[in-house]
Amino acid sequence: MEDKIRNLIEDLLKEHREFLETLTRIEEDLKKDVLDKALEKLLEVMKREVEDHAIREEQELAKLTQHRFDPEALVFAHDNIRDRVAELEDLLEDFKNGKRSSDLIRREAFSLIKLVRDHFQEEENLFFPMMRGEDLEHIGGDG
């Protein structure tokens, strides 16, 4: 079972790197004047790929590691991201109808990307080590 956990986490980490590269490209487009296209791509990636990734973590990984990790914090973080995606989707609709400014939409998109990056760091530095059964006393500390 430990090999299965380790392999699944490695797959998820690879996906993190791929998502981060995609998010960086979207950020570059957001800085230009291709706002609609960048937002549509961001929402597509979040609602399909990142959501599928989150479900794998919540179901497959959580099931394998339930003996050493309570997935409540993981699910809470994912739900927070889901809420922010839904909010951005609503804002985009308002923007298309002339009810929101491009600056607001752009800020919210950057904020969502930062939230995802921060969450990936939390998973990689805290949740995944706990799921692997690593001793966390020394992780992130000086001693």
At 24, which amino acid appears? T
CA distance 127 to 51: 18
What confidence category does residue 58 fall into, taking pLDDT thresholds of 50, 70 and 90? very high
CA distances to 24, 126, 141 from 110, in Å: 10, 24, 29
Q: Is residue 140 very low, low, confident or very high in pLDDT (cuts 50, 70, 90)?
A: low
Q: Which residues lie closer than 8 Å to 127 by C-beta, 6 or more apart?
A: 69, 73, 74
Residue 53 has pLDDT above 50, yes or no: yes
Please tell me the predicted confidence (pLDDT) of residue 143: 44
| Mean pLDDT (the chain, rounded) | 92
Contact call for residues 100 and 108 (beta carbons, < 8 A): no
Query: Which of left, alpha, beta for 133 (phi over 0: left; psi -120 to 50: alpha)?
Result: left
Measure the CA–CA gap between 76 and 71, rounded to whole angstroms.
9
**Where residue 138 falls among pLDDT bands split at 50, 70, 90?**
low
Please report, for the chain, the start and end positions of each structural domain, with discontinuous segments joined by +.
2-131
Share of the chain above pLDDT 70, in %: 95
Q: How far apart are CA 50 and CA 52, in angstroms?
A: 5
pLDDT at 36: 85
Q: Using CA atoms, how far apart are residues 89 and 136, in angstroms rounded to an integer?
A: 38
For residue range 114-134, list pLDDT tens digits in order: 999 999 999 999 999 999 999
Q: What share of the chain has pLDDT > 90, as a percent?
A: 83
At residue 34, the pLDDT reads: 76
Instruction: Classify residue 55 by burial, with Cβ atoms within 10 Å: 0-12, 13-18, 19+.
Output: exposed
Residue 63 burial class via C-beta count within 10 angstroms: exposed 0-12, middle 13-18, buried 19 and up: exposed
d(CA 102, CA 30): 10
Specify the pTM: 0.91
